[in-house]
Amino acid sequence: MATFAATGFSVTALAESPFHTGVWQLNTPEGPRGLVVSDWLVFEDGLPKRWLYRRAGTNDANQFDFFTRTIGDPDYTPVGIRVYRTGEHEMKYTIAEKGKDPIEVSAVRLSIPNYKNSCLSVENKGERLFGTWAGTTASTVKKLNVNKTSMTIDGETTKVSVEPVRVGRLGISKDGKPIAFLTDAGGDYAVLQWFKDGVTPELMRDPKREVLDFKAEEILRMPSGTCDRQIASRLKAMK
């Protein structure tokens, strides 16, 4: 079972989201391209796609380096990402694929700075993970409802124990055995992460270690969410 001592997920709630969180215009040689990033994930084709794990020891006030992992994969991808702040709403965005020359482009923010109540933020969302979620094209689950004592998937209810294990993440146990995380993906989305055997309660609750290898990761959407519309509106501003 792969685990990783990472600093990619914040342990304590912060006053605002990281600098990279938001909707951006990448100025590529082929023309402008949209980039959507929540606190913890890069979106692709409208859905959360790549987890970001901040590389320890490489960050100062302006530079942030990340390992990446594609949802559903057990290992890091051979692609690293660097964000370098060049202004209040500007950055250099570098993709470094193993064995290839890094590709660096400039980027300008299309969204307002993502403070604690912004739609792509993961921080300070309270108990938003409890409630009803709908399946997406990236899930086998059609409908999920979670409260503190039960989980209902597509009409089948299971008695469980649900507890916050860090900001933006619930740990779900059945008969004392950890079975899944429900993790805030930012925007309108969350990811149901089914554990493989071997995850202990201590590991589930550990705020400093990341489990990388899951039985499955299901992307779910909040039916009442409005962030998708806000993102689409921002992307229309590209020029």
The conformational region for residue 173 under phi > 0 = left, psi -120 to 50 = alpha, else beta, is beta
Q: Provide the CA 26 distance to its chain's centre, in angstroms.
A: 20
pLDDT at 124 (0 to 100): 61
Residue 207 has pLDDT above 60, yes or no: yes
The β-bridge partners of 81 are 66, 95
pLDDT at 122 (0 to 100): 87
pLDDT at 137 (0 to 100): 96
Element (H, E) at 158: strand 156-159
**Tokens 């990279």 correspond to what residue?**
20
Q: Mean pLDDT over all residues of the chain?
A: 90
List the Cα angle 78/45/77 in 5-degree steps: 10
Kindly report the pTM of this predicted structure. 0.91
pLDDT digits (tens, 9 = 90+) for 69-120: 999 999 999 999 999 999 989 999 999 999 999 999 999 999 987 655 688 9
pLDDT digits (tens, 9 = 90+) for 163-172: 999 989 999 9
pLDDT band at 56 (very low <50, low <70, confident <90, very high): confident
pLDDT digits (tens, 9 = 90+) for 131-162: 999 999 999 999 999 999 999 999 999 999 99
pLDDT at 5 (0 to 100): 45
Parallel, antiparallel, or unpaired for β 103-109 and 22-28?
A: antiparallel
Question: What whole-number distance in Å separates Cα of residue 146 and Cα of residue 133?
Answer: 8
